[in-house]
Chains A and B, each alone.
Chain A
Amino acid sequence: MIGKPMSTATAEVSVFVPPTVVKWRRVRSLWSIMKRKPLGAAAACLILLLVLTAICADLLAPYDPFLTRPEVRLLAPSWQHPFGTDDIGRDVFSRVIYGARLSLWVGLLAVGIGTVSGTLIGLICGYWEGWLDLMLQRLMDALMTIPGLILALAIVSVLTPNTTNAMLAIAIVIIPGNSRIVRGTVLSAKQNAYVEAARAMGCPHLRIIVSHILPNVTAPILIIASIWLGNAIFIEASLSFLGLGTQPPSPSWGLMLSSTGRAFMEQAPWLAIFPGLAISLAVLGFNLFGDTLRDIWDPKLRGRG
């Protein structure tokens, strides 16, 4: 067997490279990437900030986001209330902080569900082709004919408008495009000689898919997922803005903008400014990060951005 001496060879190499050196090298290569891609590094910082805010919302928020205190309604930003207070005296800063948790949660779950389902469909379609592929891909085409937000709106209208259903709707919007890209990648990965070799050796389908085809698909999946995370936060905010997503009194950025931001915009513009700024920064972070990932992983696009 050819396999044996090769595995001992790799074992020997790993003896020569102590793990600490590998770790140090990784840190250095990360640093060099950050130097070459300052925008990507800034995006990563934005995302990190968002994630930390979401996780530590309980520690960071100075007030209870639901606590109403009519005596301090519509206060301008001050040291006590950095983003001011809304029409029933809730602290906008605390609500924006808890909003990060909600947005990120919706985004992660929607993109998670959408990406996993899309990838499964794409893998099945690309690997087996045949009539199932034809039917599923035509269904995906049909879903793609409906503009994303309108499809999400229609889905939410059928179910009841709330956060969970908005999330499901976004997941469904994500599936078609994702499955198409995965399918394309699988079709080309299948052409590789090592896949053919694995098949000739009688390797079971599941193993071929998991260990030979899936690694080809991960880079495009991660790129799309990052860009979709931004989009998902955007769509959730849009749905909530229209009153068809998260319902009051939950602190959703889109809802804050529409319910109090627009009603009191002339007296209290901060009610509209800060939640919108939060949405923009979150979406910007994921968009830039996705762009950078694409630059790094897709050599064909390098230097084009």
Chain B
Amino acid sequence: MFKYVLRRLLLVLPVLVLSSLVVFGLMRVMPGDALTALMAESGNVSERELQKLRKDLGLDRPYHEQYILWIWQMVTFNPGYSIFTGDAISVSLKKAIPVTIELAALALAFGLLIAIPVGVLSATRQDQPTDYIGRLVAISGLSFPDFWLATLVITFAAIWFGWIPPLGYTSVWESPWRNIQQFLLPAAILGFRLSAATMRMTRSTLLEVLREDYVRTAWAKGLDERLIVYKHALKNALIPVITIVGGQLGGLLAGTVIIETIFALPGLGRLTVEAIMFRDYPVVQTNVMLAATVLVTINLLVDLTYAWLDPRIRYQ
């Protein structure tokens, strides 16, 4: 196992370096540089001020120096300052990350709470009305845009119940009740979308496992249906489900971008969208790189879990 972990870790590093190059390159392909674009929009800044700002930001140096400097900043957790607000990026990240983690964790919990029971129901009642309803719900979860669901939920909650989610973010430590009011709806919507693929995977792997010999043996022994499905079959069926959940976390991260913007939650997603709108390139490149790193780490963890659960993979 140790050897496998080491091999996987060694494979991750070059990928991260490459994606940092992609992100860095992307931020520099725009015509002119970041500042000309910024200044063209705000207007009336003298050429001298521009030169000074350029020097402060290190934009007058050659690309390879800029890249190394940026990587150094990222590795030492000190990713510079926002052009727009002048705040240290590390400070705004420290505020934003817990919000996104809470949202993502709640959404994941919601997603699994919906996906696994519905998946099991669908598989055990294959081609019966329950199955069709379950599958229809799953495919609509994949198709209904999160921003649409969010808009509708907010609208009809306001029209029918006169309820509006409390404005202004409150952390869970200040007031857990207010905090949960703010996070419940966005997490439920994200979770619903997340549940779709997981539910489909649960259903299809469970269908396969239920046809295995050992399950037939369990039936033949006269075991209770619940015991067979939940203990014998589901355990085995969940292994591929872990992969799909891991793969979905990238989508979850993207989903938080939109949901945070709609529900005015000051998380990473909203920070990124605002930075993009103001062309605040240091913030954009830091956040995009952060998202990439998180995704790579999650994929690594998924692979390792997989190897841990299924010893055949380790010895390939």
Interface residues of A (CB under 8 A from B): 138-139, 141-143, 145-151, 153-159, 230, 234, 237-238, 241-244, 254, 257-258, 261-262, 265-266, 269, 272-273, 276, 279-281, 283-284, 287-288, 291, 304-305
Contact A142 B15 (CB under 8 A): yes
| A-B contacts, 8 listed (Cβ < 8 Å) | A146-B288, A149-B258, A150-B288, A153-B272, A157-B279, A258-B147, A280-B140, A287-B139
Partner of B152, one of A150, A159, A241, A273: A273
If A238-B147, A283-B145 touch, whether A147 touches B253 (CB-CB below 8 Å) is yes
Q: Which 4 A-B pairs have the closest CB atoms?
A: A276-B148, A149-B254, A142-B18, A284-B143
Q: How far is the CB of A121 from chain B (nearest CB, A)?
A: 15
If A142-B22, A147-B250, A150-B257 touch, whether A287 touches B142 (CB-CB below 8 Å) is yes
Q: Given the complex, which residues of A lie within 8 Å of B156, measured CB to CB? A: 269
Contact A265 B154 (CB under 8 A): yes
Q: Given the complex, which residues of B lie within 8 Å of A288, measured CB to CB? A: 139
Contact B145 A279 (CB under 8 A): yes
Q: How far is the CB of A92 from chain B (nearest CB, A)?
A: 15
A154 and B207 CA atoms in complex are apart in Å by 41
A155 and B28 CA atoms in complex are apart in Å by 11
A304 and B258 CA atoms in complex are apart in Å by 32
Q: Given the complex, which residues of B lie within 8 Å of A157, measured CB to CB? A: 276-277, 279, 284
If A138-B15, A143-B22, A147-B254 touch, whether A243 touches B277 (CB-CB below 8 Å) is yes
Q: How far is the CB of B203 from chain A (nearest CB, A)?
A: 8
Q: Given the complex, which residues of B lie within 8 Å of A156, measured CB to CB? A: 276
Q: Any chain A CB within 8 A of the CB of B75?
A: no
Contact B139 A142 (CB under 8 A): no
Q: Any chain A CB within 8 A of the CB of B228?
A: no
Please indicate which of the listed interface residues A142, A159, A257, A266 has the most CB atoms of chain B within 10 Å of its own CB: A142
Q: Given the complex, which residues of A lie within 8 Å of B23, measured CB to CB? A: 146, 154
Q: Any chain A CB within 8 A of the CB of B151?
A: yes
Q: Any chain A CB within 8 A of the CB of B59?
A: no
Chain A interface secondary structure, helix, strand, loop or mixed? helix
A254 and B139 CA atoms in complex are apart in Å by 20
Using an 8 Å CB-CB cutoff, how does the interface string of B251-285 with A read, 1 for contact, 0 for none? 10111011001100000000011001101000010
8 A Cβ contacts from B24-81 to A? 26-27, 29-30
Please indicate which of the listed interface residues B26, B154, B255 has the most CB atoms of chain A within 10 Å of its own CB: B26
Q: Given the complex, which residues of A lie within 8 Å of B273, measured CB to CB? A: 153, 242, 244
If A149-B257, A276-B145, A276-B148 touch, whether A158 touches B288 (CB-CB below 8 Å) is no
Q: Any chain A CB within 8 A of the CB of B291?
A: yes
8 A Cβ contacts from B193-208 to A? 200, 204, 207-208
If A153-B276, A283-B143, A288-B139 touch, whether A262 touches B151 (CB-CB below 8 Å) is yes
Q: Any chain A CB within 8 A of the CB of B5?
A: no
Nearest A-chain residue to B204, judged by Cβ: A304
8 A Cβ contacts from B1-28 to A? 14-16, 18-19, 21-23, 26-27
Partner of A142, one of B21, B145, B253: B21
Q: Any chain A CB within 8 A of the CB of B180?
A: no
Q: Given the complex, which residues of B lie within 8 Å of A154, measured CB to CB? A: 23, 26-27, 276, 284, 288
17 extra interface residue pairs, beta carbon distance < 8 Å, beyond A238-B147, A258-B147: A145-B15, A146-B19, A147-B251, A149-B254, A153-B273, A154-B23, A154-B27, A154-B284, A157-B284, A158-B29, A238-B145, A241-B258, A272-B148, A284-B139, A287-B139, A304-B207, A305-B204
Contact A142 B19 (CB under 8 A): yes
Q: Given the complex, which residues of B lie within 8 Å of A148, measured CB to CB? A: 250-251, 254
Q: How far is the CB of A297 from chain B (nearest CB, A)?
A: 17
Q: Given the complex, which residues of A lie within 8 Å of B139, measured CB to CB? A: 284, 287-288, 291
Q: How far is the CB of A16 from chain B (nearest CB, A)?
A: 40
If A145-B292, A150-B288, A158-B27 touch, whether A280 touches B276 (CB-CB below 8 Å) is no
Q: Any chain A CB within 8 A of the CB of B296?
A: yes
A234 and B276 CA atoms in complex are apart in Å by 20
Partner of A146, one of B22, B152, B158: B22
A273 and B292 CA atoms in complex are apart in Å by 34
Contact B29 A145 (CB under 8 A): no
8 A Cβ contacts from B217-262 to A? 250-251, 253-255, 257-258, 261-262
Q: How far is the CB of B132 from chain A (nearest CB, A)?
A: 9
Q: Given the complex, which residues of B lie within 8 Å of A143, measured CB to CB? A: 19, 22
Using an 8 Å CB-CB cutoff, how does the interface string of B130-142 with A read, 1 for contact, 0 for none? 0000010001101
Q: Given the complex, which residues of A lie within 8 Å of B159, measured CB to CB? A: 266, 269
Q: Given the complex, which residues of B lie within 8 Å of A243, measured CB to CB? A: 277
Q: Given the complex, which residues of A lie within 8 Å of B143, measured CB to CB? A: 230, 280-281, 283-284, 287
Q: Given the complex, which residues of B lie within 8 Å of A142, measured CB to CB? A: 15, 18-19, 21-22
Q: Given the complex, which residues of A lie within 8 Å of B292, measured CB to CB? A: 145-146
Q: How far is the CB of B315 from chain A (nearest CB, A)?
A: 22
Q: How far is the CB of A168 from chain B (nearest CB, A)?
A: 12
Q: Any chain A CB within 8 A of the CB of B155?
A: yes
Q: Any chain A CB within 8 A of the CB of B214?
A: no
Q: How far is the CB of A266 from chain B (nearest CB, A)?
A: 6
A159 and B37 CA atoms in complex are apart in Å by 10
Q: How far is the CB of B197 from chain A (nearest CB, A)?
A: 11
Contact A141 B145 (CB under 8 A): no
Contact B295 A146 (CB under 8 A): yes
